[in-house]
């Protein structure tokens, strides 16, 4: 199976040798998103909750632009720098899902790009 990079206007520009999203057969695989303000290109201020709100808004736009829905979500990976801060993120995540229930992994990590507190990666099945 070959992968095809996707060019999505809603995706912040990649800051390295990777694609923001790829199609691999029936799968859409999205690189991890951090809370980047699309206008300034900087991390949104306000910590984990503000970053999560920005991430979920970006993911909403990416999912729609890719022609998918949240019902197509198969896997979500959430990386946080402090699991103690996760309860409010989990609440925002549940609102974002709109009833979808994909598989999810949540892990605490030592650090994330740009000093982010949270990063979210998604996989969508389109068949």
**Residue of 123, 125, 89 whose CA lies nearest to 107:** 89
- Contact at 8 Å (CB) between 8 and 20? yes
Number of domains in the chain: 1
**pLDDT tens per residue across span 35-81:** 999 888 899 999 999 999 999 999 999 999 999 999 999 999 999 99
DSSP SS3 for 53: helix
Q: Interior CA angle at 107 toward 102 and 113, to 5°?
A: 105
DSSP state of 10: T
Lookup: tokens for 112: 């994330």
List the domain range (segments joined by +) for residue 55: 27-125
CATH number at residue 80: 3.30.1330.40
| 75 within domain boundaries | yes
| 15 within domain boundaries | no
DSSP state of 36: B
**pLDDT tens per residue across span 70-118:** 999 999 999 999 999 989 999 999 999 999 999 999 999 999 999 999 9
| 113 within domain boundaries | yes
Lookup: tokens for 121: 């990666």
| 53 within domain boundaries | yes
| 71 within domain boundaries | yes
64 CB-near residues (< 8 Å, 6+ apart): 10
| 16 within domain boundaries | no
pLDDT reported for residue 62: 92
**pLDDT tens per residue across span 22-34:** 999 999 999 999 9
| 70 within domain boundaries | yes
| 74 within domain boundaries | yes
């Amino acid at each position: 199976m070959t992968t095809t990079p996707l060019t999505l206007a809603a995706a912040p520009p990649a800051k390295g040798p990777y694609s923001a999203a790829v199609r691999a057969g029936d799968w859409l695989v999205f690189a991890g998103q951090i809370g980047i303000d699309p206008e300034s290109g900087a991390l949104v201020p306000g910590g984990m909750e503000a970053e999560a709100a920005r991430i979920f808004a970006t993911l909403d736009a990416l999912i729609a632009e890719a022609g998918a829905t949240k019902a197509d979500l198969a896997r979500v990976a959430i990386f946080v720098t402090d699991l103690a801060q996760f309860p409010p993120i989990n609440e925002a995540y549940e609102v974002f899902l709109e009833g979808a229930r994909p598989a999810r992994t949540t892990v605490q990590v030592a650090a994330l790009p740009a000093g982010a507190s949270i990063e979210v990666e998604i996989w969508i099945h389109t068949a």
